[in-house]
Structure 1
Amino acid sequence: MDMQNDHSALAPLTSFDQFLAIDIRVGKILTAEPFPEARKPAYRLTIDFGNEIGTKKSSAQITKHYSLEELPGKLVLAVTNFPPRQIGKFMSEVLTLGVPDSEGEVVLIEPEQDVPIGGRLY
């Protein structure tokens, strides 16, 4: 997740069709590794989205609230149909989603129940 832009401003109205164009899926974090080359503290995640999408990589600035050891097995939501983004020597393939806490640090969006991976947000 790249927090370069100010996301606190209200977005303009959009259509339901535009919303449907964004493919947000549930994935299970398989591995979390340090990402010392990142400009801002981040982890490299490998996330399994099931048979249809497969395993994808993501860079996530979540070091404030999450340790590397607690992330494997965690269910997260991610945008799976953005183009891959080069971050240093790492290619981030999905955008792992979160919201800011009161200090602007990222808190992951997680399903509150155990749900099948690959499920699409609607």
Structure 2
Amino acid sequence: MSGTADPAPQIAWDDFAAVDIRAGTVIRAEPFPEARVPAIKLWVDFGPGIGEKRSSAQITRHYDPAALVGRQVLAVVNFPPRQIGKVMSEVLVLGLPDPDGQVVLIGPDSPVPNGGRMF
């Protein structure tokens, strides 16, 4: 065994194209202490056509709510809303695990228009 992960199963291009991943700017962020796992409530502006959407993210290890305001993130915007405690999460903000399994957000490294679609 080489120590590398097994390759992911292949999917069709249409499967990938069905996932709508957009850039948005965090316009508000608040602690979510009543969540089962510590989290932050986010309000993200995806620009005209999509607008402002809410999310809950388990990102407290690396992020302070006040420091998130103005940060651009990537999120899946076409999942159905999901109730997370008292928050209706409308989008899935994307991240990757650090070596300890804690989420690190992903986003553009230069400013892009809100609502820009990943392709």
TM-score band, normalised by the shorter chain? over 0.9
AA of the residue aligned to 1:35:
F
CA offsets 1:67-96 (integer angstroms, 9 cap, x no match): 111100000000000000001111000000
The SS at the match of 2:59 is: coil
- Cα 1:113–1:103 change in 2 (3 A) is same
Question: Which ranges in structure 1 are unaligned for 5 or more consecutive residues?
Answer: 1-7
- The structure having more radius of gyration, on CA atoms, is 2
Aligned-residue offset at 1:10: 5.1
The equivalent position to 1:73 in structure 2, one of 65, 70, 76, is: 70
Aligned pairs, number: 115
1:106 aligns with 2:103: yes
Look up the match of 2:93: 96
Deviating above 6 A after TM superposition, structure 1's stretches of 4 or more consecutive aligned residues are: none
Across the aligned residues of Structure 1 and Structure 2, the Cα RMSD in angstroms comes to: 1.2
TM-score scaled to structure 1, two decimals?
Answer: 0.91
Q: Residue in 1 aligned with 2:56?
A: 59
Per-residue Cα deviation, 1:17-65 (whole angstroms, up to 9, x for no partner): 0000000000000000011111111000000000110000000011000
Residue 25 of structure 2 is aligned to residue 43 of structure 1: no
CA distance, structure 1, for counterparts of residue 116 and residue 12 of structure 2: 22
The answer for unaligned runs of 5 or more in structure 2 is none
